[in-house]
Amino acid sequence: MRLILLPLMALALLALADDQAPQAGDQVAIAVQNQFIYPMPAFYASPTQPVSYGTLATIDEVQGEWYMVTTALDDTGWIHSTAVTGAIEGSYSGTSASGSVTSDEIMLAGRGFSKDIEETYAGENPQLDFSMVDRMENSWTVSSEALYQFLVEGKLIEGEAASSSSSSTSSTTSTTGGGRP
């Protein structure tokens, strides 16, 4: 009997392990650092609110690659689908006061490659200058505002004005309100 059941269990686990795209009503967790929710589904939109890694959120609406979510802290806005985990099972529905959750992925990350591992590795390899990596990550940060301005100036998106730092005249007719909210 067990010889029959074990392959059956493996098949069931494999089937359930398939990544199903979360749907409206599903709960997910923020899977990236320095993330924001936006008033419209676009990275160049002025962010509504920062959200922390691990924060739980419920999907209210799916629109292409973007989810309208309400976080455990009751903030609502759009977030890109790649910034969240897959749908979280029911047993994770209890949230802490901070609205954070420890999903399986996040738990494993704590034991996998982490800051602690990097620091130990850096100690064993003093020739490696991690401050240069920090500099790369921190010196040329692009804000949503700068990105929006850059995209408009480069005619990569439609916008309301070409430049805030130069004298300009502009007239824009858009059927979708392509300007920044």
Partner 1 sequence: MTAFGITMMALLAFGLGDVVDVLEDDDVQSAIGIAESFARANREMTDVEEYYLGRSVAATVLDMYIPLENQSVQQYVNLVGQSVACCSPKPSLYNGYHFMVLNSEEINAIACPGGLILVCSGLTDLADNEDELAAILAHEVSHVALRHGVSSIDQARWTEFGALVAEESADRWGSSEVQAAVGDYGEMVEEVVSNIINRGYSRETEYQADSLAAVILSRAGYSPSALSSVLQDMSAITSRSGPGFWQTHPSPEDRLSNLGGILASLPQTQVDAARTQRYQDYMSGTATVPGATTTTTPGTRGSSSTGSGTSTGTTTGTGGRGSSSSTSTSTSTSTSTSSSTR
> Hey, which residues between 89 and 118 contact partner 1 (CB under 8 A)?
89-91, 105-106, 108-109, 111-118
Q: Report the amino acid identity of residue 87.
A: A
Which of residues 2 and 25 has its CB atom nearest to partner 1 in the complex? 2
Is 67 an interacting residue with respect to partner 1 (CB under 8 A)? no
Q: Is 49 exposed, middle or buried (0-12, 13-18, 19+ CB in 10 A)?
A: middle
Pick from 29, 42, 51, 59: which binds partner 1 (CB under 8 A)?
A: 42
Cα torsion angle, 17, 22, 28, 31, sign:
positive
Residue from 22, 66, 71, 100 in contact with partner 1 (CB under 8 A): 66
- Which residues, numbered 132-161, are part of the site for partner 1 (CB under 8 A)? 132-133, 135-147, 149-151, 153-159, 161
Residue 75 contacts partner 1 per CB under 8 A: no
Q: How far is C-alpha 88 from the geometric centre of its chain's CA atoms?
A: 15
The 3-state DSSP class for residue 56 equals: strand
58 lies in the binding site for partner 1 (CB under 8 A):
no
- CA torsion 162-47-34-92 (nearest 10°) is -150
Smallest distance, partner 1 to C-beta of residue 120, A: 5
The phi, psi pair for 84, rounded to 5°, reads -130, 160
CB of 60 to partner 1, least distance (A): 14
Q: Interface with partner 1 includes 164 (CB under 8 A)?
A: yes
Hey, what are 95's tokens?
């949230």
